[in-house]
Amino acid sequence: MKNSNNPALFPEMVGKSGGDGILPWQDIKRMVATGQISANPLVPDSQIQPASIDLRLGKEAYRVRASFLRGSAATFMTRVQEFREGTVDLTSDIPAPLEPGIVYIIPLIERLSLPSDVQGIANPKSTTGRLDIFTRLITEHGDQFDRVPRGYKGTLFVEVSSRTFPVRVRYGMRLNQLRFVRGTSPKITDPIRNGDLQRLAAKYNLVYDEHGTPSMSGIADGVELTVDLGGDVVAYRAKGEDRRVIELDRINYYEPEDYWEPIRPRHGYITLAQGDFYLLASKQLVSVPLEYAAEMIAHDPSMGEFRVHYAGFFDPGFGYGIRKGDILGTKAVLEVRAYEVPIAIEDNHVVGRLHYFPMSAPPEKAYGESSLNSFYQRQGLALSKQFKRTSNPNTAMPALHPALVG
């Protein structure tokens, strides 16, 4: 008689620490242990985040002439070979850089064998977004980007296009991340649905104003975020005309002024030039309690013709810590590009909206814990981790709260 306690025999019966919602760290770890997420080399714990898993680049990047999904091809790699214009060996000592404006397809190391009630949602990692690197996850036989259907079994690919800088990536690097959702995970919304978001904000202090005082302002269909133009340097513009290569594994290495132009407001506003890429910071400080995860919407036409925040995931514990009061909010860094026309924005201009979603259970590890390599807890207007920290107080990254450093 088979042993019903053997998890390998019944993989869909393990890894359930709660009900429907976004799966936490411990459930993702169990998915790795039971083979629902598999890889060679094996997935280390450091790859698992509070509410997502980082995905690793495979050995080759295929330069292709256009972005595409599978179409009528028998396999996705068949279509890759049809569109391929070159190959970059990511295992070489010095791989060729990924050039701006070029589309690359990279097979990922991880494979999935999802339960029938679990789907996936992907997004670029924070560092990827701050470097203006656009990524989209692709599945075999998939008909949409950044979505993994329930019960999916197969390989994963990532489409990568650096918009501003030439970047050098290597085998095993992590550019995007994947969340898993069991059942449904509806967003916590506005007064139309019984004021759930207001109650949540009042209970956990989701938002603090610029003075660190809990605030209920701007809480409607999500938490509205406004831009902070009240300081000296209030934004950074990427110097796209400078083609110096950025190697993603060099941390605290590059001089910011070689790649970024600091922007100072004139008469209380700044102008975003058409097509340029900017980093700004929210005036509000936000927090994500452990029972929830959050996501910044990428584009809302009502806010203007620009895209905000490529890396939309905010993990449980961001700006919050392990328990209420550990951290009194953290600014959101806004990655912004104006598309159709130049746009003038003023201090306190609404530029983003943060939506909250329930976790299936609180994660056993929260954002900011030292073992998770969380670089942006307590951030101000912070460049990506590849750049040296500046003396601008808005970019300073104070030490973590003692409760978060073990």
Total residues found in the chain within this entry: 406
- In the three-class reduction of DSSP (H, G, I as helix; E, B as strand; rest coil), residue 302 is classed as helix
CA distances from 315 to 51, 81, 209, 291, 298 (A): 6, 37, 21, 10, 17
Give the CATH fold of the 191-404 domain.
Deoxyuridine 5'-Triphosphate Nucleotidohydrolase; Chain A (2.70.40)
Rounded to 5 degrees, what angle do the CA atoms 146, 300, 220 make? 105
Four-way CATH pick for 11-182: 2.70.40.10, 3.40.190.150, 3.30.1490.20, 3.30.365.10: 2.70.40.10
Q: Dihedral angle at the C-alpha atoms of 221, 332, 347, 349, nearest 10 degrees?
A: -20
Domain with CATH 2.70.40.10 in the chain: 11-182, 191-404
Each residue's pLDDT, cut to its tens digit, for the chain (406 residues) gives 333 333 443 444 444 567 899 999 999 999 999 999 999 999 999 999 999 999 999 999 999 999 988 766 678 999 999 999 999 999 999 999 999 999 999 999 999 999 999 999 999 998 999 999 999 999 998 889 999 999 999 999 999 999 999 999 999 999 999 999 999 777 876 444 557 898 999 999 999 998 889 999 989 888 999 999 998 999 999 998 778 999 999 999 999 999 999 999 988 899 999 989 999 999 999 999 999 999 987 656 555 666 676 658 999 999 998 888 888 999 999 999 888 889 999 999 888 889 999 999 999 998 877 555 556 676 789 899 999 986 544 443 333 222 222 2
Q: How many helices (H) and strands (E) does the chain have?
A: 4, 27
User: d(Cα 234, Cα 274) in Å, to the nearest integer?
Assistant: 18
The burial class, CB within 10 Å (0-12 / 13-18 / 19+), for 298 is middle
